[in-house]
Structure 1
Amino acid sequence: MSIDRRARAPQDFWNSLRSSTQSRIGLGRVGDALPTTSVLEFRAAHAAARDAVHLPLDVSALATRVEAVGLGSPVTVRSRATSRPEYLRRPDLGRLPADLTAVPRTGADLGFVLGDGLSPRALMDHGAPLLAALATELADTYSIAPPVIATQARVALGDHIAAALGVQTLIVLIGERPGLSVADSLGIYLTHLPKPGRTDADRNCISNIHPPEGLGYQQAARVVASLISGARRLGRSGVDLKDTSRTDELVSHAALTIPGPTG
């Protein structure tokens, strides 16, 4: 019995750790190789990541879901990358618009761009519900331009779209690079006073949005609301702007739970 317990102990140890991470840890071995099951799971995850990159965005279906959010009929634009292979080979073309004549100038406080990025699957799975959570969090405070759906898009394409919209703050929802643990993760990039030529240092990123395992829609929306408020006070976004949403929640909770003076 003692020998059996010692044999099981390493596996029990790794099983406990696996409950807190999606990483591949403690895979074990068979002779000099990995177990067959682990190899097959790895290959399946790699195939899913490749599929997520190459799967074309169903623009019509996404537009229907986005319009149902209630922010207006979405406009569709594309970058100068004319195909998925060219998009992957030429990131520079994904940052430039092919044509923005369909984008209305609104002068709104906020603009939303939904880009396929490196995981169109992520945008299809999470784009509309995340946009709905953002609208719920922000629509009572700010004016919002009609959403824009961008294909073959890199983050910086949003700066050109924002300039055409005339918005003060841009929020880009874009499919993140798939990995071997997650192939449908969505990211948010926030730029205050956007214009062509902005760099990553001028933006704030909220990543790993893919409930239930990743960040939830409502939590991401609260972070965005905090960043917008901070950017408007600071006059800029980027490296100087920090998320205070959790601090604000703690202060609010303390104000509700700590008794005040009774006089």
Structure 2
Amino acid sequence: MTNNQNTPPGWGYGQTGQPGYGKPFQRPFSHPETQQPAFGQPYAQPHNPYANPQPAQPYGQQPVPRRTKRKQQRNSGLRFAGGFLAVIWVVFVLEMIFPWLQGFGIHPLDIYSLPMIFTSPLLHANLEHIISNSLTGALFAYLIGYSGKRVFWEVTAFTVLIGGLGTWVFGGIGTNHIGASGLVYGWLAYLIVRGFFNRSVGQIITGIVLGFFYSGLIWGVLPGTEGVSWQAHLFGAIGGVVAGMVITSDDPPQLVAKREAKALEKARRQG
């Protein structure tokens, strides 16, 4: 132990020669916001223990690199496209073995066929019918699935419910409506309009391109072709438009942040 009787006032005890010992200071921690560190170089900004600490990033919510995120989106789109093809083709094989499965289509105004609005998109009359829906359906499923599984299922639910109920009401008594074409029309309609509702330039461009290349499908929502369920096409497309207007899970991050900022500002004013 060193003798501290001759230690100048305001100095630390001992003369060890180590950095930090024997440095002049005011009372320890009397002014922590201005106290210089004992070791190393001074900080660029004074430490203020009374300042609000920066919240730590929650575990599992770290920012995802752009390349990784795009890869995840591509994989999501491919899963939905592949799943769509797998389901309708497996069901088609079962139809060839059990032809009576085609009776699970929509029978308009038949109360017992209401649950069939969920099974009718999986059924197809023949090979030409399923091939015509496979390529376009897989493409649209990929593009919607690219935005995430929640977006895909929300759009599909709106299309199936609105398209199925509209066909059930206006399809014509004594008819049987089967095929994924109503679902395909709903997906296409959503892809065309969604960018105008969520203010995404990229999605607007995608919708314009799809609308140009598939403009010929507009004739499918009009009556005139025997054996074609124009009602399923029309109401399926209406379901896709409603999905584009209502759902918010496909909003880009900038729009989400802006909406949250408005909500916080409104809560602050009310509070």
Which structure: larger Rg? 2
TM-score w.r.t. the length of structure 1 is 0.29
TM-score w.r.t. the length of structure 2 is 0.29
